[in-house]
């Protein structure tokens, strides 16, 4: 019984490791940023809940649907680079 549980545990861990997805990225003004980093940063800049923000890859825009807001993602490149360098939140 104990061995069986241990086996299950191991296999569960293994499985989790196997399907762990590579983090999605967005290329903004020629530079690759993690999607979550982009959402977190723009959410902080705009003071808008993170779950209201999404990236539209077809139009390459940052959208806030409930505000009908849509802006070219490349415009945020400067602020994202500054944030990446740790200089946006002094």
Q: Which residues bind another protein (CB under 8 A)?
A: 44-48, 64, 66-69, 71, 75-76, 78-79, 82, 87-90
In sequence order, the 6+-apart residues with CB closer than 8 A to the CB of 43 are: 49, 50, 53
Closest distance between another protein and the C-beta of residue 50, in Å? 13
Q: How many CB atoms lie within 10 A of CB 29?
A: 14
Considering the complex, what minimum distance in angstroms separates the CB of residue 41 from another protein? 9
Report the half-sphere exposure of 51 (CA within 13 A, side-chain side): 0
Q: In whole angstroms, how close is the CB of 12 to another protein at the nearest point?
A: 42
Closer to another protein at the Cβ: 37 or 88?
88
């Amino acid at each position: 019984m104990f061995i069986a549980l241990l086996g299950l545990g191991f296999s569960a861990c293994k499985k989790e490791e196997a399907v762990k997805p590579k983090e999605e990225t967005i290329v903004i003004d020629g530079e690759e940023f993690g999607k979550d980093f982009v959402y977190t940063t723009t959410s902080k800049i705009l003071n808008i809940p993170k779950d209201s923000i999404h990236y539209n890859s077809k139009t390459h825009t940052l959208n806030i649907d409930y505000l009908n807001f849509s802006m070219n993602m490349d415009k945020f490149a400067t602020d994202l680079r500054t944030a990446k360098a740790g200089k946006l939140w002094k």
